């Protein structure tokens, strides 16, 4: 249902887009969305606005996606890994060491490859607006440091419920164990798993550093977040409104990336002060072991061609 409001004088029609997500208001991605909302209100002269409902107020990630698909919610944020279920080509963004560095990743996401992926979920009523930086995921463990792939042998490592993530941990020698993020703290405490993998802000804000005292920055994957709009809402916008929204989203990406970089540095400093040992292993050892995960796609010509295009793209970004 599309919402319109008219001011007291009856002069201005306002369209309101509801945006819901599960992140805390201190999170860099939430702040990026706030910035986008401010920009949109400014660009549209207040005619098109966004109301943000953070911290799971309107449901968890899965519920928000379902609300988008039926048109009861306009916008939400998910990990690109979740989009694998709707647009299979998103899987390539979650492959280990697919990106050489941040510049390479930004070039891919801001360029034709990334922008084409954003519209691949339209058959499921989900259209991507932009990508937010969600950092690089690295291993953290309770009882022993991870300095090379051999150190993962015999360890149960929590992963997201993603086949790609499970295959990666297996390739590196660990035992992948899918557990919901909300249950992970107690699972680490109770020894259900020996460790997990995530980016520095998530490691810090989840307080997992209270249990895991080793953080190895192997940076095996750099899965971005995706801002999604319901196609029902997108199609109801005029061309001018779409332009305002897309411009606001793209400009918020630049702002959010700066916030993310600051948050990573602050998080690493905080966990180190809390007694966590930060390790910076030779990433080439991990990349070599993980290469088999990419080679599995040789039997899938479309995805394998996409992998080759990404790996051989130059390091450049539009932003």
**Position 165 in a domain:** yes
215-267 residue pLDDT tens: 999 999 999 999 999 999 999 999 999 999 999 999 999 999 999 999 999 99
Indicate whether 154 and 302 sit together in one domain: yes
CA angle 143, 194, 190 (to 5 degrees): 100
Here the CATH number for the domain that contains residue 194 is 3.40.190.170
Indicate whether 35 and 144 sit together in one domain: no
**Position 104 in a domain:** no
Given its phi and psi angles, is residue 59 left (phi above 0), alpha (psi -120 to 50 degrees) or beta? left
CB atoms within 10 A of CB 278: 16
**Is the pLDDT reported for residue 318 higher than 60?**
no
**Is the pLDDT reported for residue 6 higher than 80?**
no
**Position 27 in a domain:** yes
Q: Where are the beta strands (DSSP E) in the chain?
A: 3-6, 13-20, 48-53, 75-79, 126-132, 137-141, 156-159, 175-178, 195-198, 214-221, 225-230, 277-279
Indicate whether 153 and 300 sit together in one domain: yes
Indicate whether 160 and 257 sit together in one domain: no
Average pLDDT, the chain: 93
104-135 residue pLDDT tens: 999 999 999 999 999 999 999 999 999 999 99
**Position 93 in a domain:** no
Indicate whether 176 and 163 sit together in one domain: yes
Total number of residues shown for the chain: 319
Range of the domain at 44: 3-86+121-135+223-266
**Is the pLDDT reported for residue 317 higher than 80?**
no
Indicate whether 152 and 295 sit together in one domain: yes
Indicate whether 234 and 165 sit together in one domain: no
Exposure string (b/e) for 204-235, b if CB count within 10 Å is 16 or more?
bbbebbebbbbbbbbbbbbbbbbbbbbbbbbe
Indicate whether 65 and 186 sit together in one domain: no
Q: pTM above the 0.85 mark?
A: yes
Indicate whether 168 and 259 sit together in one domain: no
167-190 residue pLDDT tens: 999 999 999 999 988 899 999 999
Indicate whether 72 and 165 sit together in one domain: no
How high is the pLDDT of residue 30?
A: 95
Last residue of a domain, one of 231, 248, 266: 266
Of all residues in the chain, what percent carry a pLDDT higher than 90?
A: 86
Rounded-to-integer distance, Cα 178 and Cα 196, Å? 10
The domain tally of the chain equals: 2
């Amino acid at each position: 249902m599309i919402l319109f409001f008219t001011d007291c004088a009856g002069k201005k029609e306002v369209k309101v887009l509801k945006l819901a997500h599960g992140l805390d208001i201190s999170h860099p991605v939430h702040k990026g969305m706030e910035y986008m909302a401010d920009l949109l209100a400014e660009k549209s002269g207040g005619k098109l606005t966004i109301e943000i409902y953070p911290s799971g107020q309107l449901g968890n990630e899965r519920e928000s996606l379902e609300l988008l698909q039926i048109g009861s919610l306009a916008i939400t944020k998910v990990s690109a890994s979740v989009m694998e279920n709707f647009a299979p080509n998103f899987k390539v963004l979650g492959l280990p060491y697919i990106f050489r560095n941040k510049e390479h990743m930004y070039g891919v996401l801001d360029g034709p490859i990334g922008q084409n992926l954003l519209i691949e979920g339209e058959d499921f009523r989900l259209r991507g607006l932009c990508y937010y930086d969600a950092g690089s995921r690295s291993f953290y463990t309770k009882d022993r440091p991870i300095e090379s792939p051999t150190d993962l042998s015999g360890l149960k490592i929590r992963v997201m419920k993603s086949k790609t993530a499970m295959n990666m941990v297996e390739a590196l020698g660990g035992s992948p164990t899918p557990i919901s993020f909300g249950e992970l703290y107690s699972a680490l405490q109770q020894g259900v798993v020996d460790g997990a993998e995530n980016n520095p802000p998530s490691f810090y804000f989840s307080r997992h550093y209270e249990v895991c005292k080793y953080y190895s920055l192997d940076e095996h994957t750099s899965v971005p977040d995706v801002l999604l709009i319901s196609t029902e809402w997108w199609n109801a916008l005029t061309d001018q409104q779409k332009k305002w929204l897309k411009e606001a989203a793209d400009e918020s990406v630049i702002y959010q990336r700066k916030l993310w970089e600051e948050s990573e540095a602050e998080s690493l400093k905080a966990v180190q002060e809390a007694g966590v040992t930060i390790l910076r292993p030779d990433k080439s050892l991990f990349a070599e072991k993980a290469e088999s995960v990419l080679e599995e796609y040789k039997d899938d010509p479309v995805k394998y061609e996409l992998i080759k295009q990404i790996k051989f793209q130059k390091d450049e970004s539009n932003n």
